[in-house]
Amino acid sequence: MHRRTFLAATGLVGIGVTAAVPAQARGKLVRSVDELRAAIARAVPGTVITVANGTYEGPIPVTGKRGTRDEPIVVRAESVGGVVLTGEQSFVLSRSSDVTISGFAFRQRTTLDVPPDCRRIRLTRNDFQLADLEGLHWVMVRADYSTIDRNEFHGKSTLGIYLGIEGPGTDGMARGVHITRNYFRDHTFPGDNGGEPIRLGVSPRALSTAGAVVEFNLFERANGDPEAISVKSSGNTIRHNTIRDSLGGIVLRHGNATRIEGNYLLSGENGIRIYGNDHLIVNNYVERISGAGVVLGSGNVRDHYPGEPADSRRGNDAPDRVRIALNTVLDCESGVVGESHRTLPPVGCAVTDNLLVADSGQLVNMPFQDGITWSGNIHWGQGADGNAPAAGFTRADPRLAPGPDGVRRLTAGSPAINAASRSYPDVARDLDGDHRTGRAADVGADEYSARRPTYRPLTSTDVGPHAR
């Protein structure tokens, strides 16, 4: 195949943008919107188009452009953040696949849309601070197998979300979207709903299996909504994210069978809140939350179902078969709690082998008990045990000590070591990335080890346009 490359060397195809593209690698730059449009129109698999630093006003059509998985079409800024896109629209995507857009500063006045007639679109190393307009959602992804990585979203004070994932029609979801290494910060919308950093679906799409992976993202001062990661679809994985100093928590609002694993929720207002069926909440570290660390919700509907009325679909689905296991909840106002303002209780759920520590408040406050199995939990501190069943916990000093990253982990001789009450064949590793070993797992998110942790709470250097 004869490969054509615009303005860059062949060896750079498909990689992320660095702080600046070496002069010998970038060749001649496109320096106007007209040149950029023409270059995109001529692009074939493997084409790399480099846009000279400056300010450009769209629209910039990307229509019928099809790279391949091995040879995507790449449109990138000369240096990360050096190309500013203004106007009503920037890139307008349609009927395209395997296209990478990298290194731009988006300042447009309408949503950047990745529509469902596209596939495998990658947005990487971009800076998103669109017009701060009431109700404007900044990025909406509806294309299967898209990747949103190493971007920064910041500076919104009005109603509207940073990143939404939806899909075709009124009830479908994009499949296999990967959201990783992004930095979501400083959403200051003062309302009580509608300012989520990530909204993974909406209520009519709740039963659609998205299979999204949301991992290694950092949220700081995410105060536009009580839900920093709002899940309203099914079959997703939310892991190794850090939410710090934020109103928002992780909320399974609609949908089923999502795995919440190995996340850090630190010094915020909301922890993890759960509705729906067949979720696994495991290995999470929740510390100094002014509300509840983990909320196992109640419902006004028992199960969502295809074709149900819209009012029913918007209702809260009482949790069924949810497992809350091997989590560490420290110094929150309350540890594991339920809700009493809806009438349908959890059914077939289990709260097992969690470590709950606090010197005030209640460690457990669960108004509905009949549908929950308790075992192996360890309580410590001056916080009240609440209404935790006596057979479901022991009181013992877990012997925690903070590491250089501030995370409090088990030390030698902790009674939590090898103390889990049941086996977890589907939980191979702990919060740090260590293997769960021994005759039984250790209670809480940490498996005792002298090894340096593979995972830790994220900082701003780990995410965003300049991250590795």
What percentage of the chain has pLDDT greater than the value 70? 94
Residue 450 lies in a domain: yes
Name beta bridge partners: 314: none
Amino acid identity for residue 197 in this structure:
P
Cis peptide preceding 319, ω within 30 of 0: no
Q: Give the pLDDT mean for 235-245.
A: 98
Q: Is residue 215 pLDDT above 50, yes or no? A: yes
State the total domains in the chain: 1
Amino acid identity for residue 212 in this structure:
A
For the segment 393-447, what is each residue's pLDDT rounded down to a tens digit? 999 999 999 999 999 999 999 999 999 999 999 999 999 999 998 779 999 999 9
Residue 399 lies in a domain: yes
Residue 103 lies in a domain: no
pLDDT of residue 67: 98
Q: Is residue 16 pLDDT above 70, yes or no? A: no
Determine the structural domain holding residue 165 and report its residue range. 111-462
pLDDT of residue 437: 83
Q: Is residue 370 pLDDT above 60, yes or no? A: yes
- Name the nearest CA neighbour of 423 among 342, 334, 339, 325: 325
Among the listed ranges 9-13, 329-333, 366-370, which one has the minimum average pLDDT value?
9-13
Up-side HSE of residue 43: CA atoms within 13 Å toward CB?
35
For the segment 161-170, what is each residue's pLDDT rounded down to a tens digit? 999 999 999 9
Residue 62 lies in a domain: no
Residue 239 lies in a domain: yes
pLDDT greater at residue 2 or residue 209:
209
The CA dihedral of 168, 300, 349, 365, to the nearest 10 degrees, is 130
Residue 410 lies in a domain: yes
Residue 321 lies in a domain: yes
For the segment 24-47, what is each residue's pLDDT rounded down to a tens digit? 334 469 999 999 999 999 999 999
Quote the pTM value. 0.94
CATH number for position 320: 2.160.20.10
pLDDT of residue 439: 79
Which pLDDT band holds residue 220 (cuts at 50, 70, 90)?
Answer: very high
Which pLDDT band holds residue 310 (cuts at 50, 70, 90)?
Answer: confident
Contacts of 275 (CB under 8 A, 6+ apart): 252, 253, 254, 297, 299, 316, 317, 318, 319
CA distance 242 to 252: 17
Which pLDDT band holds residue 14 (cuts at 50, 70, 90)?
Answer: very low
Longest Cα–Cα distance of the chain, Å, equals 73
Q: Give the pLDDT mean for 97-125.
A: 98
SS (H, E, C) 59-82: CEEEECCECCCCCCEEEEECECCC
With H, G, I as helix, E, B as strand and everything else as coil, classify residue 313: helix
